[in-house]
Structure 1
Amino acid sequence: MRNILVFSSLLVISHCLTCYHCIGTDCDTVVTRSTSTIECPVGSFCQTAKFQYFDSDYNQVRATKPARGCSVARGCMNSLNVDSCKSDPQQFMMIGCPTRYCCDTDLCNTIEAKDLL
Structure 2
Amino acid sequence: MLLADGSILTGTSPDAMNASVEVCHEIEPYCGAFRLNQRVVASVCLHRQPSGRTVVLSPCGVCRERLAVYGPGVLVAVADRRDPTVVVWKALKDVLPDYWMTAFPDEIDAGWTT
Query: Is the structural similarity TM-score above 0.5?
Result: no
Give the TM-score, by structure 2 length. Answer: 0.25
- Comparing both structures, which one devotes a greater share of its residues to strand? 1
Identify the structure with bigger relative contact order (alpha carbons < 8 Å, sequence gap 6+): 1
Give the TM-score, by structure 1 length. Answer: 0.24
Pick the structure with greater CA Rg. Answer: 1
